């Protein structure tokens, strides 16, 4: 036990020293409290004597912030809770870039509720978003007795349940990735909408009933104000851009209300000022979008020198080369001169220039990237001049020019597939002439899957296909001299002619194309129809086979229809001649 004595003596010494220090401090405090008054110098020096040395250093001074945010003020006639609420959102919740929209004049009111006032704020992170929204719900209930509803808020218990389910799912799938970045996992919402109603105790329900007691209108006469606080992360706020959405709704409501009331419509500047008076946006909000819009507006105003004006007439698309023997370098020079001149251009000019770029020489896929770059410049110039680039004519021209380009290769194939996808997504009904252009381009590339898809396109939009479309289909497969391809085409094309409304009849050039296709599929069909072999030397099976021979039966049916048409035409001619003769006799 002797080895513990030094340690115990040292601890007793420390305790005695602490006790004496505490006693001295207590005596000093009691001495200061008993003094009723004293010299100012003594009062100034006494804190310095009592202040420990480690507290005598000056606190660090932070540089003043250059971003002094101005809080939105409550609009006229708004509930009294707006001002303390804005102060709490900024100081306690810590949301930045606060904006306030006065949407009480929306007619009809929004689905969120009548007399709507909406506040937008940006949270610094997902955790900050949920914590601050939860505190705001509790604060508004405790201090103002409003029951708020927070859509998108995940409580602590729900969060634990979701995380447990994600861990279980990850364990079953054998992966450690519980949460996919930027994925919809039910946890990273990025947006919480807190809404509550303020009831002032005044109801206007009686005002919605007419003299007979029947309800007039659809509103129940709510006199409360709906306050909505949109809490979002910065990325989600930029992605959704709800401010632009509600600004457009307010502008449309003001314009429609004046029209219904019979008032004179406002000009664009007056309407913009009236909408801006109801919106309180943070300074510098959406600065990048405003700069982009300013650049677009400035791009519409072009100022050219005298030399550029002289180029306008020379580089006008009306004077573009029409020869098929074009060189890509000359076309590129023409496109650059045309852009510099600022000459006017319409959709027909744009289509013509696109064809020149893709059809110019030389051969080979090496120039595909250069052609795509030139067409991209042309499309940008057309968009600046107000041409709709998603019209059916321009999209089909792009597909047609790429498919028939001498530089056709993998690059143009990918670009062509993108244009075809865009055309299908836009659900643009092609005209008969546009369908024929696509079919001719695909036939040149022997791309029969796309060829027949272009042929079926009008039927998908409940449009009738004319005789010219069938003639092109028969002529394209006949040009291949492929009996199997012609056979497959005839077996489903010929019945389709009778299903059209009105039916497509085999006359004129269509009859010639159909007959040529039949002769490719069965070269002996016409001879067997005109001069069948004698039945005396044929067996029963041969007779039956000849009678039911596929293309002989088809050609016989075609000739029957043509005979009926000739008979009907002769009857109409006789009837017309008879009417003419009778009319002449009466007139005489």
Instruction: Compute the Cα dihedral for 236, 240, 241, 242 and give only its sign.
Output: negative
Q: Is the pLDDT of residue 1 over 50?
A: no
Distance, CA of 257 to CA of 263 (rounded, Å): 9
Cβ neighbour number for residue 406 with a 10 Å cutoff: 15
Query: For residue 312, what are the contacts with CB-CB under 8 A and spacing of at least 6?
Result: 341, 342, 343
Distance, CA of 518 to CA of 440 (rounded, Å): 21
Read off the pLDDT of residues 372-384 as tens digits, 9 standing for 90 and up: 888 888 888 888 8
Q: Is the pLDDT of residue 90 over 70?
A: yes
pLDDT score of 87: 92
Read off the pLDDT of residues 246-304 as tens digits, 9 standing for 90 and up: 988 898 888 888 888 888 888 888 888 888 899 988 876 665 555 555 555 544 444 33
Distance, CA of 126 to CA of 187 (rounded, Å): 9
Closest C-alpha to 469, from 444, 497, 442: 497
Q: Give me the architecture of the 81-178+186-200+222-287 domain, per CATH.
A: 2-Layer Sandwich (3.30)
Helix (H) or strand (E) holding 228: strand 225-233
Read off the pLDDT of residues 406-451 as tens digits, 9 standing for 90 and up: 889 888 989 999 889 888 888 888 888 999 999 999 999 899 999 9
Q: Is the pLDDT of residue 218 over 60?
A: no
Q: Is the pTM here over 0.95, yes or no?
A: no
Q: Is the pLDDT of residue 403 over 80?
A: yes
CB distance 548 to 505 below 8 Å: no
Distance, CA of 451 to CA of 465 (rounded, Å): 15
**What are the tokens at 187?**
């946890």
pLDDT score of 307: 34
Read off the pLDDT of residues 13-61 as tens digits, 9 standing for 90 and up: 545 555 455 555 555 545 554 444 444 444 444 444 577 776 766 666 6
Distance, CA of 558 to CA of 560 (rounded, Å): 5
Percentage of the chain exceeding pLDDT 70: 75
Read off the pLDDT of residues 174-192 as tens digits, 9 standing for 90 and up: 655 555 544 556 677 789 9
The 3-state DSSP class for residue 122 equals strand
What is the average pLDDT across 70-82?
89
pLDDT score of 329: 82
Closest C-alpha to 72, from 283, 228, 266: 283
Q: What DSSP designation does 263 have? A: P
pLDDT score of 40: 43
342: phi > 0 → left, psi -120 to 50 → alpha, else beta; which? left
CB distance 420 to 426 below 8 Å: no
Tokens 């007979």 belong to 212
């Amino acid at each position: 036990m002797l080895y513990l004595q030094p340690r115990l003596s040292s601890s007793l010494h420390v305790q005695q020293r602490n006790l004496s220090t505490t006693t001295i401090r207590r005596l000093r405090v009691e001495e200061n409290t008993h003094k009723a008054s004293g010299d100012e110098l003594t009062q100034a020096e006494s804190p310095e004597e009592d202040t420990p040395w480690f507290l005598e250093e000056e606190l660090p001074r932070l540089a003043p912030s250059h971003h002094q945010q101005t809080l939105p003020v409550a609009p006229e006639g708004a509930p009294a809770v707006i001002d303390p609420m804005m102060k709490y959102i900024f100081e306690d919740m810590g949301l930045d870039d606060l904006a306030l929209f006065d949407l009480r004049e929306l007619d009809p009111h929004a689905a969120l509720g009548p007399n709507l006032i909406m506040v937008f704020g940006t949270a610094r992170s997902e955790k900050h978003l949920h914590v601050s929204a939860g505190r705001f719900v509790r604060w508004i209930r405790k201090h103002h007795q409003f029951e708020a509803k927070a859509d998108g808020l995940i409580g602590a218990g729900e969060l634990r349940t979701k995380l447990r389910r994600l861990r279980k799912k990850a364990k079953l799938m054998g992966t450690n990735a519980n949460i996919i970045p930027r994925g919809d996992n039910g946890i990273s919402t990025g947006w919480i909408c807190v809404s509550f109603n303020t009831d002032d105790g005044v109801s206007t329900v009686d005002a919605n009933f007419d003299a007979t007691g029947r309800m007039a209108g659809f509103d129940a006469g709510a006199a409360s104000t709906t306050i909505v606080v949109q809490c979002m992360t910065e990325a989600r706020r930029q992605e959704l851009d709800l401010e632009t959405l509600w600004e457009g709704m307010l502008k449309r409501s003001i314009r429609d209300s004046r029209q219904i009331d019979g008032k004179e419509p406002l000009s664009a500047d007056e309407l913009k000022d009236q909408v801006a008076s109801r919106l309180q946006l943070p300074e510098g909000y959406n600065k990048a979008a405003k700069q982009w819009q300013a650049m677009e507006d400035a791009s519409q105003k072009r100022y050219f020198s005298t030399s550029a004006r002289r180029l306008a007439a020379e580089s006008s698309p009306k004077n573009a080369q029409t020869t098929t023997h074009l060189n890509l370098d000359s076309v590129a020079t023409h496109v650059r001169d045309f852009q510099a001149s600022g000459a006017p251009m319409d959709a027909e000019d744009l289509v013509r220039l696109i064809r020149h770029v893709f059809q110019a020489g030389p051969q080979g896929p090496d120039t595909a990237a250069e052609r795509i770059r030139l067409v991209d410049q042309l499309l940008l110039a057309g968009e600046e001049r107000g041409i709709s680039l998603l019209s059916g004519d321009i999209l089909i021209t792009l597909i047609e020019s790429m498919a028939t380009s001498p530089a056709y290769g993998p690059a143009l194939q990918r670009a062509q597939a993108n244009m075809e996808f865009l055309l299908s997504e836009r659900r643009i009904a092609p005209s008969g002439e546009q369908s024929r252009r696509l079919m001719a381009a695909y036939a040149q590339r022997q791309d029969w899957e796309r060829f027949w898809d272009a042929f079926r396109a009008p039927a998908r939009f409940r449009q009738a296909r004319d005789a010219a479309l069938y003639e092109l289909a028969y002529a394209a497969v006949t040009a291949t001299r492929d009996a199997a391809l012609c056979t497959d085409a005839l077996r489903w094309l010929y019945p389709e002619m009778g299903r059209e409304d009105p039916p497509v009849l085999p006359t004129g050039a269509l009859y010639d194309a159909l007959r040529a296709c039949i002769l490719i599929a069965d070269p002996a069909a016409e001879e067997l129809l005109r001069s069948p072999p004698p039945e005396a030397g044929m067996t029963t099976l041969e007779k039956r086979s000849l009678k039911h021979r596929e293309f002989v039966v088809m050609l016989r049916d075609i000739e029957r229809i043509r005979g009926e048409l000739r008979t009907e035409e002769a009857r109409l001619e006789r009837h017309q001649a008879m009417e003419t003769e009778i009319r002449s006799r009466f007139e005489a």
